[in-house]
């Protein structure tokens, strides 16, 4: 979401003929689009603000500093009190103010923004980074779920859905610019609702539009297991533009922890959902988020999580340990887990996941798949890095001209968690 919003803000700059500075020293404006989900991300932003404030103090040429995103929403004007070199604090709801800020900076003036006035959130026109063949398309914003550890509902506000017309319009726009894969974005895409058009209805509309505009692959993020309906599964199964990979954040395997997290589903319901998805779409891969060390978590609870991982066999997981975020319900829970214990539990979860990923990928050796060629491998300049619809990465020797297009490859070996493949061939008609 943060990347998509950064791309949208960069586009506003380009539309007003601003260009990217090569270094912060030569910039006329510095925009930091921040994230509040983890404490570490916030700490890094404070460091950056201090650095940029230092640059501003030293130099003669004017410099406008804008802090955008979730931290701006959470901390508001207190950021300016702490760092007086910051000119504007533009929260997640206030992105529409950015053109005014740019206009004022162009004139060497200060934009007239009333901090008391609450701007209305609006989805901006395009979230496409220049030269990209994949694009994020936000379909909703905010979250009503209030998981007890999560800051998102406080910094992004309640759920707002984007109209299907607006979504298909952006699909057409990005398709004209050469995009072949889109990811529908939202904090909780399954609770999309626009005048009784629910997520599964929207998927039908998106599938139709994808066919018309030449978008081959459609993904979505994130799908909370709590609102994943059978109707949605049916729609996904019927339309092959939807990639056979779903990110399904389970967070934990123990019912008592899931309850304390206010996730709104049980371990049994999650496993039932996995079963339903796999029956409807055999071969689909699943990935997840796992949060260990939640207050009150017992050794038994950790075993439940490891057991669930063994049962589901996720292709990969984002794994992290609990970090209290002020303002959330879990912040006040007394039974916090010791840092070393959290780290030890997390390392067991990571070990298991790495083994499972390797096992799953090993089984893929010998298969031939269609991949989207994403770029040049960072480890070997002679190799291309590609991704399957199941979200598996494969490195393959091939011509740079294939970047941005679909190709067929055969997996030949496994290096760490990246498949090696051979014979990248452009797709033929009918593939
Ligand atoms: Fe946060 Fe829960 Fe909403 Fe996800 S579903 S954004 S974890 S409150």
- Under DSSP, the state recorded for 82 is H
Residues 166 and 196 in one domain: yes
Q: Is the pLDDT of residue 125 over 70?
A: no
Cα of 38 from ligand 1 centre, angstroms: 13
Residue with tokens 């319900």: 329
Q: Is 224 in the pocket of ligand 1 (CB under 6 A)?
A: yes
**Taking 80 as the threshold, does the pLDDT of residue 116 lie above it?**
no
**Can you point out the beta strands (E) in 323-403?**
368-376, 383-388, 393-397
Among 172, 139, 33, which residue's Cα sits nearest to residue 94? Answer: 33
328 lines ligand 1 (CB under 6 A): no
Q: Does pLDDT of 184 surpass 90? A: yes
CA angle in degrees (0–180, nearest 5) for 366-134-410:
10
Q: Are residues 346 and 404 in the same domain?
A: no
Residue 403: is its pLDDT beyond 90? Answer: yes
Q: Is the CB of 147 under 6 A from ligand 1?
A: yes
CA of 190 to the centre of ligand 1 (A): 12
Same domain, 164 and 308: yes
> Under a CB-based contact definition with an 8 Å cutoff, are residues 105 and 140 in contact?
no
Which of 140, 150, 263, 327 for a ligand 1 pocket mutation test, highest count of atoms within 8 Å of Cβ?
Answer: 150
pLDDT digits (tens, 9 = 90+) for 37-49: 888 888 899 999 9
CA of 230 to the centre of ligand 1 (A): 21
383 and 268 belong to one structural domain: no
* Token pair listed for 320: 């992290």
- Tell me: the pLDDT tens digits for 340-374? 999 999 999 999 999 999 999 999 999 999 999 99
Whether residue 173 sits in one domain with residue 229:
yes
**Residue 150 CA: which ligand 1 atom is closest?**
1
**Which two structure tokens, joined as six digits, stand for 12?**
């506003």
Q: Evaluate whether 129 touches 404 at the Cβ level (below 8 Å).
A: no
Domain end, chosen from 362, 380, 403, is at 362
Residue where one domain finishes, among candidates 316, 334, 362: 362
Whether the per-residue pLDDT at 32 is higher than 90: the answer is yes
- Percent of the chain residues topping a pLDDT of 90: 78
Note the pLDDT of residue 351: 98
User: Are residue 325 and residue 414 in the same domain, yes or no?
Assistant: no
- Number of structural domains (the chain) is 3
Tokens of 114: 């009333």
Residue nearest to atom 1 of ligand 1 (CA): 150
Residue 146 lies in a domain: yes
Query: Is the pLDDT at 114 greater than 80, yes or no?
Result: no
Q: How do residues 202-250 score in pLDDT, each as one tens digit?
A: 999 999 999 999 999 999 999 999 999 999 999 999 999 999 999 999 9
- The residue whose C-alpha atom lies closest to atom 5 belonging to ligand 1 is 145
In a domain, 124, yes or no: no
Final residue of a structural domain among 362, 382, 401: 362
Stated pTM of the model? 0.91
Q: At what angle do helices 299-312 and 267-280 cross, to 10 degrees?
A: 10
Domain boundaries, position 36: 2-107
CA of 238 to the centre of ligand 1 (A): 28
**How crowded is residue 402: how many other Cβ atoms within 10 Å of its Cβ?**
18
Neighbour-count burial of 31, counting CB atoms closer than 10 A to its CB (0-12 exposed, 13-18 middle, 19+ buried) = buried
Question: Is the distance from the beta carbon of residue 266 to the nearest atom of ligand 1 less than 6 Å?
Answer: no
39 token code pair: 């404490």
**What number does the ligand 1 atom closest to the CA of 224 have?**
5
Distance between CA atoms of residues 311 and 214, nearest Å: 37
| 376 occurs within a structural domain | yes
């Amino acid at each position: 979401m943060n990347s998509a919003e950064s791309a949208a803000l960069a586009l506003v700059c380009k539309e007003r003929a601003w260009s990217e500075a090569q270094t912060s020293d030569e910039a006329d404006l510095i925009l930091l689009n921040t994230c509040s989900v983890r404490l570490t991300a916030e700490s890094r932003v404070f460091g950056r603000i201090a650095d940029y404030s230092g640059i501003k103090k030293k130099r003669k040429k004017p410099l406008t500093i804008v802090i955008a995103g979730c931290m701006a929403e959470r901390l508001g004007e207190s950021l300016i009190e702490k760092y007086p070199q910051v000119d504007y604090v533009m929260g997640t709801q206030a992105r529409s103010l950015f053109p005014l800020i740019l206009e004022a900076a162009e004139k060497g003036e200060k934009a007239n923004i009333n901090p008391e006035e609450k701007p209305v959130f609006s989805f901006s026109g395009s979230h496409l980074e220049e030269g990209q063949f994949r694009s994020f398309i936000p379909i909703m914003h905010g979250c009503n779920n209030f998981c007890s550890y999560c800051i998102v509902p406080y910094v992004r506000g309640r759920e707002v859905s984007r109209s299907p017309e607006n979504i298909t319009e952006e699909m057409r726009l990005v398709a004209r610019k050469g995009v072949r894969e889109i990811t529908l974005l939202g904090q909780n895409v399954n609770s999309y609702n626009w005048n009784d058009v629910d997520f599964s209805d929207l998927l039908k509309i998106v599938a139709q539009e994808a066919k018309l505009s030449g978008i081959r692959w459609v993904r979505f993020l994130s799908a909370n297991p709590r609102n994943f309906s059978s109707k949605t599964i049916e729609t996904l199964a019927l339309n092959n533009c939807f990639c056979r990979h779903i990110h399904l954040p389970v967070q934990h395997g123990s019912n008592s922890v899931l309850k304390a997290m206010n996730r709104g589903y049980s371990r049994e319901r999650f496993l039932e959902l996995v079963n339903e998805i796999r029956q409807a779409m055999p071969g689909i891969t699943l990935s997840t988020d796992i949060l260990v060390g939640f207050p009150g978590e017992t050794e038994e609870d950790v075993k439940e999580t490891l057991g669930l991982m063994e049962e589901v066999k996720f292709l990969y997981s984002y794994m992290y340990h609990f970090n209290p975020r002020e303002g959330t319900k879990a912040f006040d829970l007394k039974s916090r887990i010791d840092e070393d214990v959290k780290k030890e539990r997390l390392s067991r979860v990571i070990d298991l996941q790495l083994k499972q990923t390797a096992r799953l990928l090993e089984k893929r050796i010998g298969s031939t798949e269609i991949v989207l060629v994403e770029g040049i491998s960072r480890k070997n300049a002679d190799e291309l890095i590609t991704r399957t619809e199941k979200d598996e990465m494969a490195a393959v020797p091939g011509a740079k001209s294939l970047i941005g297009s679909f190709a067929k490859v055969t997996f030949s070996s496994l290096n760490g968690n990246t498949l090696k493949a051979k014979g990248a061939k452009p797709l033929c008609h009918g593939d």
